Structure 1
Amino acid sequence: MISLLDYGAGNVRSLRNAIHALGFTLTEIERAEDILKAERLIFPGVGAFGAAMERLHRLGYVEPLKAYLAEGRPYLGICIGLQTLFEGSEESPGVEGLGLIPGRIRRFDHEALSVPHMGWNDVRVERASPLFADYAGEKLYFVHSYRAEPSPENADWRLATTDYGAPFLSAVQKGRVGAVQFHPEKSGEAGLRLLRHFLAGEDTLTPDLERPATRAPTHFAKRIIACLDVRSNDAGDLVVTKGDQYDVRESGEVRNLGKPVELAQRYYEEGADEITFLNITGFRDFPLSDQPMLEVLKRTSENVFVPLTIGGGIREFTDANGKHYSALSVADEYFRSGADKISIGSDAVYAVEAYKARGGVKDGSTAIEQIAEVYGNQAVVISIDPRRVYVDAPSVTDHDTVATQVPGPNGERYCWFQCTVKGGREGSDVDVVELARACEDLGAGEILLNSIDRDGTGVGFDIELIRAVREAVSIPVIASSGAGCVEHFAEVFAATGVEAALAAGIFHRREVPIEAVKTYLRQHGVETRT
């Protein structure tokens, strides 16, 4: 009997779907006593260490879980399911973990690296385990800001390590108890193979079967992300669309480039590292029960085993019956439907405007803070839609300006990047640098940086815009808008150091295949997932 310990935080639908896709049945832990009845127990999840432990205590799961682990029964922890095995975490001072493994979880602190560690990396398997029986060095998907450090005290648990600034424990195992920091259910075929070994009972470590020692470093990959702008057409059908400067109509009709679930499946098969859905009419759709994107996520996560991000309409609202929904409760529904990350757009601008009015003081009222507190910073993506505002000199504005190589209509040599709301139709008095910095302070874990000026043009990413934001924050940045050929992807990685690049129209229309992008990048020395 394979049992899933769903403690109520994070996307576990994808894990359920992966288990079913592998041909196994699953039971749910619904009461504390179910834990000791399990024959094989999986503890998945993303989120904050303190929030996870608080829920485990509230549900009465801590003591039976400790008893299960003490008996050395089959266990697979995923992400937070690994971290809670330790004594505690810097993420939540004063909160005790399960204490099975000596040591505390610590934040990545390498100044030259973006945090969270978000994306595809290798693992260095350091001793034999059936979990990695046929692992061939493929990259696996990580998303975390805190890591377990290898030490003499936990050496007997050490199964695999990964490099990100310094080595951290990416897999631990003693007997039949094991855990991984990466997400096998989000790691494509390589992750599914590892998961199958555990489900089939091939989890017992064989201490006398040593794996040849290796000191080869692991390599963090740049991500190529496929973006699907989704909206209802005039007939009421959900379609993937794309336009120039956000105009998605052609001959009076909404441009239809395919169905979202089918297109997402295609991109998974073609090698996309992540898939992002943007509900571009979400600001007009209020009732949560009416959100068609929930069904898109549920269906996509059945067969797509890479990370899914969803944006559009995720904010607090009051329905027609006067019932209030917090942004966190709305986000809950998206996570439970298959989303791994939530993208916040216009609401982020409003949140930063309020944050500025408070003198840069956080008060816990924003969607960014609320979602990050429960699900972790890595679950919150800020989608920024800026446009250029040209000025004659930096002194004429209080905003961060750049000396531009793309002069304005009157020959202006400076510009600042104005953040917009409502799909680019309204401007704000917030510039892109202050928005990115403020959102990082509020708890966001990633920036999705669009460009209204470059959207749909195919002339290349706005390097000046991207460089300004990349230099302003320490969280990962996704470059978006303007890609027209494989060379543009190599250019943006070389010129700005961003962690990921996103495209839509050129992928939808098959003008530039995803594998062609990756092949070109590898030929020019850029690490990618094959």
Structure 2
Amino acid sequence: MGGLYLLDYGAGNVRSLVNAVNKLGYEIEWIKEPGDILKAEKLIFPGVGAFGSAMQLLVEKNYAEPLKQFIASRKQFMGICVGLQALFEGSEENPNISGLGIIPGTVKLFNKDDKVVPHMGWNEANCIKEIKYKNELGQDIHCGIKPGSVYYFVHSYAVPYNEKIKEWILSTTQYGDEIFISSIQKDNVFGTQFHPEKSGYAGLRILKSFLESSGNNNLVVVDDKKIIMKNPTILPKDRFRKRIIACLDVRTNDHGDLVVTKGDQYDVRERTTDITNGQVRNLGKPVDLARRYFDEGADEITFLNITSFRNCPLVDLPMLEILKRTSETVFVPLTIGGGIRDIIDPDGKFHSALEVAGEYFRSGADKVSIGSDAVYAVENYLANNKILSGRTAIETIAHAYGSQAVVISVDPKRIYVNSPDDEPNHHVIKTSYPGPNGEPWCWYQCTVKGGREGRDIDVHQLVTSCEAMGAGEILLNCMDKDGTNSGYDLELINDVKKAVRIPVIASSGAGKEDHFAEVFAKTNVEAALAAGIFHRREIPIKHVKNYLKERYILIRDEDPSL
């Protein structure tokens, strides 16, 4: 198929979308100048980040008017996330900036009273429009959306359900007690608020439907009598899924090979014959392991780079190549942690944390995780009377790519005290697990440099400050629990959950299936992460998910068919 184009306005990870299109057997060309838009027969407009930034870039690059002309020409268009939101008249996110105005309505911020924001994770898309139109195979068409399937969302703003634009609405999704538009379809225009390219095989089916549709198919005009419209149903509780995240700790061995630790079979001293750019780098194991986790049903995959690569130029960072290769076959969100900070190349060239993050996003990452630099940023923030500087890695990356792109990795450890009076400057909690001398209270000290150095800042100060700076998620480790297989630190998790209104990932301590069920049942955390037990196959991801499903905890089931 010729004439398929991608409109990339320069924000976020579009590599995964290109890889998904290639996986389905299609080639896609990039829009390089405004005139290319009208050359296209089909156009995909993906996006992440802020509505205002996207629209400003469209205008600056002279893409906005050709885009309107393309849609008016009745050629097939697909918008993803911000690519869908841009079709509306405007957004509360940036009230002074107009959208394309193709669809009446305004994008609005989620109500934060009953749920965490961003809406980040897997949720259902319920079709309210049923298109009774037969394709060449004699099948009813729903643009690839399959009842019961779940898709990956990551956004703070959405378009509420509106009866007045019902003809545009293909599906709705409930988050908390709010119902919003999760996909639209009318004539040649199709769009999803969720990310098909990050929604596993369910998302690939949607892309396949768009790519395979032709002249008089489901995305073009159909007989109104063959369109059945239903009203969305408000459920007592939304169908938002709990996430199981597999984490890979990646480091270099003595020979420069990249290997995964926390697993006996991943010997950091084993040799390899894989040569990349003249250097020996074992990229196979991290990439292959990530693919295995995807096949086993991991909802997200996190790479934590525990090697500094201080003597390596930014463009040659080995983790960039890992992300590029992984995103070719793994279609769930990828997070990269380690080294997201200002760096200087061996030749003296300076790169800001924002520039470093941008390279990771362009290589296939969806989120970046910031650890030690977040602690240093919060120390400065508190010392400056909680006045935002606008210059920290958290602030600059969140502003450019959206809060959902910034994860804060917290490495706290317990400091036991006899009384809150012993630590008047820190957030102290009563513990059910007294200290070595029977101390009934503790506070959680934040650490840096992989836990090797404690700082005079507690976890409560850190997470609330990072939320204020614009972070969109907390990866909550616990040094006291790491490697113990004794279960997650529920007291720590509950305390952090009360402090912030952004998603929290529980980490450190999982040793059996019941630990996952326990953390979801007793803390209402959004996700749970594990590393070693998955690496060594002590507990396969599928076993964890089956165990949770048997206990009526909502999780994502993957159907690998296309």
Give me the whole-angstrom Cα distance separating, in 2, the residues matched to 1:285 and 1:92.
41
1:380 matched to which residue of 2?
Answer: 406
Query: Secondary structure, in 3 states, of the residue corresponding to 1:228?
Result: strand
Q: Where do 1:197-346 residues align within 5 Å?
A: 197-201=209-213, 202=217, 203-204=219-220, 206=222, 207-211=224-228, 213=230, 215=232, 217=235, 219-242=239-262, 259-282=285-308, 284=310, 287-346=313-372
Taking the aligned partners of 2:385 and 2:32, their CA distance within structure 1 comes to: 45
State the match for 1:57 in structure 2: 59
Task: Describe the superposition over 1:206-235 as per-residue Cα deviations: whole angstroms up to 9, x where unpaired.
Answer: 333235736554510000000000000123
The letter of the residue matching 2:390 is G
Query: Would the aligned equivalents of 1:227 and 1:276 in 2 still touch at CA under 8 Å?
Result: yes
Match of 1:2 in 2: 4
Question: In 2 relative to 1, CA 284–495 (structure 1 residues): closer, same or farther, beyond 3 Å?
Answer: farther
The counterpart of 1:73, out of the listed 56, 72, 75, is 75
Note closer, same or farther for the CA distance 1:283–1:11 as it changes in structure 2 (3 Å cut): same
Matched, 1:152 2:169: no
Q: Does 1:180 align with 2:200?
A: no
Asked if 1:137 is matched to 2:136, the reply is no
Matched, 1:30 2:56: no
Distance in structure 1 (CA, Å) of the matches to 2:309 and 2:338: 6
SS in 1 for 2:96: coil
Assess, with a 3 A threshold, how the Cα gap between structure 1 residues 227 and 258 changes in structure 2: closer, same or farther.
Answer: farther
Tell me if the contact between 2:311 and 2:345 (Cα under 8 Å) persists in the aligned partners: no
Structure-1 separation of matches of 2:387 and 2:433: 36
Does the CA-based 8 Å contact 1:310-1:342 persist in structure 2? Answer: yes
Question: 1:498-517 to 2 correspondence within 5 Å?
Answer: 498-517=525-544
Counterpart amino acid of residue 531 in structure 2? A
Q: Give the secondary-structure state (helix, strand or coil) at the position aligned to 2:130.
A: coil
**What's the secondary structure of 2:516's corresponding residue?**
helix
User: What is aligned with 1:524?
Assistant: 551
Counterpart secondary structure, 2:225: coil
Q: What are the equivalent positions in structure 2 for 1:9-28 lying under 5 Å apart?
A: 9-28=11-30
Gaps of 5+ in 1: none
Partner residue, 1:429? 456
Deviating more after overlay: 285-294 vs 78-87: 285-294
Alignment partner of 1:495: what SS?
A: helix
| Inter-CA distance 288–135: structure 2 relative to 1 (3 Å threshold) | same
CA shift, 1:317, in A, is 1.8
Pairing partner for 1:48 from 46, 50, 58: 50
Deviation at 1:254, TM superposition (A): 9.4
Moved more, 117-126 or 68-77: 68-77
* 1-structure distance, mates of 2:12, 2:515: 35
Give the Cα separation in 2 of the matches to 1:211 and 1:521. 36
Matches within 5 A, 1:363-442: 363-397=389-423, 398-442=425-469
Q: Distance in 2 between matches of 1:432 and 1:285?
A: 32
Q: Distance in 2 between matches of 1:62 and 1:215?
A: 32
Q: Which residue of 1 aligns with 2:102?
A: 100
**1:112 positional shift:** 1.8
Deviation of residue 517 (structure 1)?
A: 0.9
Shift of 1:204: 2.6
Cα deviations by residue, 1:73-95 (Å, 9 ceiling, x for unpaired): 21000000001111111111201
Are residues 286 and 434 of structure 1, via their aligned partners in 2, closer, same or farther at CA, if it must alter by over 3 Å?
Answer: farther
Q: 2-side partners of 1:426 and 1:358: how far apart?
A: 23
SS in 1 for 2:499: coil
1:135–1:169 distance in 2 versus 1, CA, 3 Å: same
> 2:129·2:228 contact (CA, 8 Å) conserved in 1?
yes
Residue 497 of structure 1, CA deviation: 0.7
In structure 2, relative to structure 1, the CA distance for the partners of 1:133 and 1:478 (3 Å cut) is: closer
d(CA) in 2 for partners of 1:123, 1:419: 39
Cα pair 2:168 2:185 within 8 Å, conserved = yes
Cα deviation for residue 134 of structure 1 reads 6.1
**Cα 1:252–1:4, aligned 2, differ >3 Å: closer, same or farther?**
closer
1:123/1:162 contact within 8 Å kept: yes
Indicate yes or no: 2:381 matched with 1:355: yes
What CA distance in whole angstroms lies between the structure 2 residues aligned with 1:36 and 1:83?
Answer: 21
- Equivalent residue in structure 2 for 1:122, among 121, 124, 148: 124
Shift of 1:205: 5.4
Is the CA contact 2:520–2:526 (under 8 Å) kept in the aligned structure 1?
yes
CA–CA distance in structure 1, aligned partners of residues 396 and 145 of structure 2:
41
SS of equivalent residue, structure 1 residue 411: coil
What does the per-residue CA deviation read over 1:191-210, in whole Å, with 9 as the maximum and x for residues that have no partner?
10110111112423533323
**What is the CA-CA distance between 1:137 and the residue it aligns to?**
1.7
In structure 2, how many angstroms separate the alpha carbons of the residues matched to 1:251 and 1:382? 29
Distance 1:120 1:99 in 2: 29
Letter in 1 for 2:220: T
| RMSD across aligned positions (CA) | 2.1
- Per-residue CA distance 1:117-176 (angstroms, 9 max, x = gap): 000000110112535356132111100000011223322211110001210000011101
Equivalent residues of 1:90, 1:106 under 8 A apart: yes
Looking at structure 2, the residues matched to 359 and 463 of structure 1 have their Cα atoms a distance apart, in angstroms, of: 31
Tell me the amino acid that sits aligned with residue 210 of structure 1.
Answer: I
1:170 maps to what in 2?
182
SS at match of 1:193: helix
How many Å separate the matches in 1 of 2:8 and 2:382?
38
Picking from 183, 204, 212, the partner of 1:192 is 204
CA distance in structure 1 between the partners assigned to 2:326 and 2:86 by the alignment: 30
Give the distance between the partners of 1:334 and 1:406, measured in 2 at CA: 41
Structure 2 counterpart of 1:456? 483
CA change 1:344–1:285 in 2 (3 A) is: farther
Residues of 2 paired with 1:41 and 1:464: CA distance?
A: 49
Structure 2 counterpart of 1:185, one-letter code: E
**Paired residues of 2:143 and 2:210 also in contact (CA < 8 A):** no
CA distance in 2 between partners of 1:341 and 1:131 (Å): 30
Aligned residues: 526
In the other structure, the counterpart of 2:560 is none
Partner secondary structure for residue 106 of structure 2 = strand
Identity of matched residues, %: 59
1:111 paired to 2:113: yes
- Could you say which residue in structure 1 is the equivalent of 2:505? 478
Distance 1:251 1:54, change over 3 A: closer
